[in-house]
Amino acid sequence: MGPHRPDGLAQLVDRRDEVLGWGLYSEASSIAMRMLSWTAAPLPEDWVQQRIAAAVRGRAAHGFEARGTSGVRLVNSEGDGLPGLVVDRYGPDVVVQITTAPMLALQPSIARALGQSVSAERTHVIVPGSAAKREGIEEQAAIEGTPEALVFEEDGLRFSVDPPPAQKTGAYFDQRANRLWVAELAARTGGTLLDVGCHVGGFALHAARKGVPAMGVDSSARVLELAAANADAAGLAGVSWVRADMFGALDDDALAGPFGTIVLDPPKIATRRGEVDRATAALTRTFGRLAPRVSVGGHVIVCSCSHHLGEEQLDRVVLGGARSTVWTRVKVLGADVDHPVAPGHREGRYLVVSVYQRRS
């Protein structure tokens, strides 16, 4: 590696000192170099501004606003050539999440670039504790004006979420297209939809808008309070809520079924490769409790937001938990288009959503 600047920009050189590319160097991180280009030509001084502007233009091309959606990821780290930077829009608010030391050093450039490309009433900057520990930087939560909630629309449905550091930047935009797709599936299948790990009501509310009876389950009383408020704001009366741990007994009478569709959407339960077996076993137990509650012909949608827990592991979950029922995988979904993945960046395809149908 060649010399690097205070903002972490450095050359990658081979043993003959020939430049292979440019990247951001993190001295304390286990990932020493995050590549920005594979060319000897130096990056322009305004590379941060150029890449943020391109990322924002890329989202505009997908027409989210015309579809009644104001909750959008504007910058998706490596997927937009900006490793360590995530920017999410929540209506009038923008949340900037920084997870590497070089990006923190580049914060003034990021602020200028966002000011040029994004119109926002408030900008909030967070450095999560896990990233701060990994990168040797200070944890940060600079929430401008301390808003009571972040409010956004998703395909015309209004959602309210707690501001960070409650959950990531506040919500989970990556599942947006999947929520719409599952709502259509549930309407065709019939029966009640059970949304396990419902957070603020995403899958349940989209299904209810299609006329599907829906029930949301979460272990957090606070997010269930927000989910119920979101349902009320949308005038959706056919939704109920149950507080329960998805990895617990799930023995509340309201959860007995039968259900036409079940969504099993756990948090990130395998942050390292060594946790895969434990995470797979936990999901298998939960699937085993839920599988008998699905009507024949119905579906279970099993989600993973860890790149260590992919299609193969989710198939193992179903095979291990199916017992006397027969299942087939009918579709695999991923993150919506505002979560692009850099070609060759396997870890960037972190969200896997496998759809299984009960056949007997």
245-292 pLDDT, tens digit each: 999 999 999 999 899 999 999 988 877 788 888 989 999 999 999 999
**Beta-strand relationship, 140-142 and 85-90:** unpaired
Residue 3 has pLDDT above 60, yes or no: no
CA nearest 37: which of 56, 50, 114? 50
Two structure tokens written together for 322: 């199916």
Which option is the CATH number for 47-161: 3.30.750.80, 3.40.50.1220, 3.40.50.970, 3.20.20.300? 3.30.750.80
Q: What is the pLDDT of residues 26-51, one digit of tens each?
A: 888 888 899 999 999 999 999 999 99
Q: How high is the pLDDT of residue 276?
A: 83
pLDDT in tens, 280-323: 999 999 999 999 999 999 999 999 998 888 899 999 999 999 98
Residue 5: predicted pLDDT: 59
Q: 258-286: buried (b, 16+ CB within 10 Å) or exposed (e) per residue?
A: ebbbbbbbbeebbeeeebbeebbebbbeb
| pLDDT above 90 coverage of the chain, percent | 78
- Check whether 79 has a pLDDT greater than 90: yes
pLDDT tens figures, 140-149: 888 877 778 8
Domain 173-358 superfamily per CATH: Vaccinia Virus protein VP39 (3.40.50.150)
CA distance linking residue 245 with residue 105, whole number of Å: 40
Position with higher pLDDT, 278 vs 356? 356
What is the pLDDT, as a whole number, of residue 167?
A: 67
Can you tell me which residue has the tokens 């009640």?
Answer: 192
Chain-wide mean pLDDT for the chain? 93
Average pLDDT on 132-147 reads 84
Residue 188 has a CB neighbour count (10 Å cut-off) of 12
pLDDT of residue 6: 59
What is the three-state SS of 178-205?
A: HHHHHHHHHHHHCCCEEEECCCCCHHHH
Kindly list the domain boundaries of the chain, sorted by start residue.
47-161, 173-358
Cβ contacts of 138 within 8 Å, gap of 6 or more: 127, 132
Q: What is the pLDDT of residues 47-74, one digit of tens each?
A: 999 999 999 999 999 999 999 999 999 9
pLDDT at 166 over 70: no
Q: Select from 263, 158, 246 the least CA-distant residue to 200.
A: 158
**Higher-scoring residue by pLDDT: 166, 87:** 87
Residues 6+ apart with CB under 8 A from 127: 97, 98, 99, 104, 137, 138, 139, 140, 141
Query: Phi and psi at residue 180, in whole multiples of 5°?
Result: -70, -45
